[in-house]
Amino acid sequence: MMPQARLDVLLVNPGSRTQIYQALGSSLSAIEPPVWGGLIATFLRRRGIGVEVLDANAEDLLPGEVAARVKERSPRLVAVLVYGHNPSASTQVMPSAGAICRSIREQDLPSKVLLLGGHVAALPERTLREEAADFVCDGEGLYTITDLVAALKEHSTDWNRVRGVYYWSDGTIRRSTPAPNIEQLDEEIPGLAWDLLPMERYRAHNWHCFGFLDRRSPYASLYTTLGCPYHCSYCCIQAPFKSGEAALGYQREVNSYRFWSPQTIAADIDRLVLQYGVRNIKFADEMFVLNRRHVMELCRLLIERRYDLNIWAYARVDSVKDGMEELLVRAGVRWLCFGIESGSAKVRNDVLKTFEQDQIARTIHRVRAAGIHVIANYIFGLPEDDHDTMQATLDLAIDLNCEFANFYCTMAYPGSALYRRAVEEAWPLPNSWTAYSQHAVDSLPLPTRHLSAKDVLAFRDKAFETYFDRPAYRAMLAERFDEQTVRHVQEMTSRKLVRRLPTADAHAARTL
């Protein structure tokens, strides 16, 4: 019998649902497949690189258990993926990712460890200083992993030949030449390596399956595009792409926005439906409903397939043009998530989230009339917020009465313009990465020009209770879904978040 070849790369998706979501993580939050892990695995396979994926989040593995799996497989390289359900969730994954790196180092395993992801790309030097990793990646990581594997196979320690990496050399942090972003997505990464993922473990968000809550699995998420052309100051989506954009000659102020062809996306959905029985799907793009031609062609391909899908995706109130909603519904798009953010145009404009005020209600009403459910995102504590503008946001949410709503506090996520501004102007920031989680015990938002962090957090938590406890909201749920959904929401709202509110001595009861 021929000896088994040594595994080249083990991609690890860290897990910390309880820490991030408290009691909500056990059954209410989604368990999403690691989209970047699946894409990277496909990219590596096409280059003959041996790769496996360990989804510690889906398998509920502790850091020591991950290290034991690493010891068992003994890969040349362990790549720990610091991503989350959305770009802003990358930072809150860092505690779990860091603990996994420490556990691997404590066991003195021969595998090299690379950290990559949005948070890591935003703070590469700091991450290398603070975490027990051999390398960190300042880009999207695909060429970096390929180059690292080649160097490790040759027993080379010339890490400068590895593109897009930070590493230690003689007690000094060095940085190699940035790696370009992948440009030909269809040819280089035609879908996820679903066969490497524990597909039976994934489940949709609770609201995604209102009306059939017992069918949250199977579930999958995938990208149809990468990046976002907008520049909302609180958003960090471009963090893993900026160095690769620079390597390709982009100006700093220009954001890349890349597409898979509708045909490639439809083929990936074919695999999900026909091989894994998936109907619940998330398009994880920061802005799916943006390029009309791209969206409409994909819709036509899905309509032809008659798969009876339950898709949700992100959109802007100014991107869903008249007539799009009918095709979206026929293609299986049952939910759209709109980033409304604030009921105040002044507050939105300050963070570069600009659209006309009257577009909000007009678009929401139009897509709901077509049969699409809406999850609306709101943010309390943006820099220009005061009690009146936050109340205006809550009033708008109540008036719209969407099928679901997310209420967030403003966080200066690493990689965002807001984070850079906070550092430059010495605004108070959390002293732990867990505090960047909206639902964590130690969650600590930014103060505003007029309000303390404590005020913002308290308003957010009260707004959540106010919205979901309303008779008008529950009556709407009963009409659009069923009584089981109403009871489920009642049970959801009974799970109160524990908060360890900041004090003046600890952090930021002061305003900016």
Residue pair 294/300 in contact (Cβ under 8 Å)? The answer is no
Per residue in 328-356, pLDDT (tens digit) is: 999 999 999 999 999 999 999 988 888 88
Check residue 24 and give its pLDDT. 47
Q: Which two tokens stand for residue 273?
A: 């439906």
Report which of 334, 261, 271 is spatially closest to residue 301, judged by C-alpha positions: 261
Eight-state DSSP code of residue 92:
G
> Looking at the DSSP assignment, which residues form a beta bridge with residue 409?
380
Instruction: Transcribe 21-77 into DSSP letters.
Output: HTTHHHHTS-B---HHHHHHHHHHHTTT--EEEEEHHHHT--HHHHHHHHHHH--SE
Eight-state DSSP code of residue 317:
T
Distance separating alpha carbons of residues 208 and 216, to the nearest angstrom: 8
What does the domain layout of the chain look like in residue ranges?
Answer: 9-175, 193-425
Check residue 512 and give its pLDDT. 34
Check residue 27 and give its pLDDT. 67
The SS3 call for residue 459 is: helix
Q: Which two tokens stand for residue 158?
A: 């010339």
Residue pair 55/47 in contact (Cβ under 8 Å)? The answer is no
Check residue 504 and give its pLDDT. 39
Distance separating alpha carbons of residues 29 and 202, to the nearest angstrom: 11
Angle at 92 between CA 374 and CA 412, to 5 degrees: 75
Distance separating alpha carbons of residues 429 and 91, to the nearest angstrom: 13
Distance separating alpha carbons of residues 21 and 497, to the nearest angstrom: 9
| β pairing state of 280-283 and 310-315 | parallel
Burial 490-508 (b: 16+ CB within 10 A, else e): eeeeeeebebebbeeeebb
Distance separating alpha carbons of residues 367 and 326, to the nearest angstrom: 8
Per residue in 218-244, pLDDT (tens digit) is: 999 999 999 999 898 989 999 999 999
Q: Which two tokens stand for residue 335?
A: 């939910």
Q: Which two tokens stand for residue 444?
A: 């600590």
CATH of domain 9-175: 3.40.50.2300
Kindly calculate the radius of gyration of the chain based on its CA atoms and give it in whole angstroms: 22
Check residue 259 and give its pLDDT. 95
Domain 193-425 is of which CATH architecture?
Alpha-Beta Horseshoe (3.80)
Distance separating alpha carbons of residues 377 and 337, to the nearest angstrom: 7
Instruction: Transcribe 319-379 into DSSP letters.
Output: TS-TTHHHHHHHHTEEEEEEEEE-S-HHHHHHTT----HHHHHHHHHHHHHTT-EEEEEEE
Residue pair 56/12 in contact (Cβ under 8 Å)? The answer is yes
Distance separating alpha carbons of residues 463 and 390, to the nearest angstrom: 9
User: Reduced to 3 DSSP states, what percent helix, strand and coil does the chain have, rounded to the nearest 5?
Assistant: 45, 15, 40
Per residue in 134-190, pLDDT (tens digit) is: 999 999 999 999 999 999 999 999 999 999 999 999 999 999 999 999 999 999 999
CA 95, 98, 104, 106 torsion-angle sign: negative
Check residue 75 and give its pLDDT. 98
Domains 9-175 and 193-425 share a fold: no
Q: At what angle do helices 63-73 and 94-106 cross, to 10 degrees?
A: 50
Angle at 209 between CA 208 and CA 213, to 5 degrees: 145
Check residue 21 and give its pLDDT. 44
Distance separating alpha carbons of residues 9 and 141, to the nearest angstrom: 13
| β pairing state of 373-380 and 333-341 | parallel
End-to-end CA distance of the chain: 68
Q: Which residues lie closer than 8 Å to 467 by C-beta, 6 or more apart?
A: 394, 397, 398, 405, 407, 473
Report which of 339, 262, 359 is spatially closest to residue 87, judged by C-alpha positions: 339
Q: Point out the residues of the chain with pLDDT beneath 50.
A: 1, 19-25, 504-512
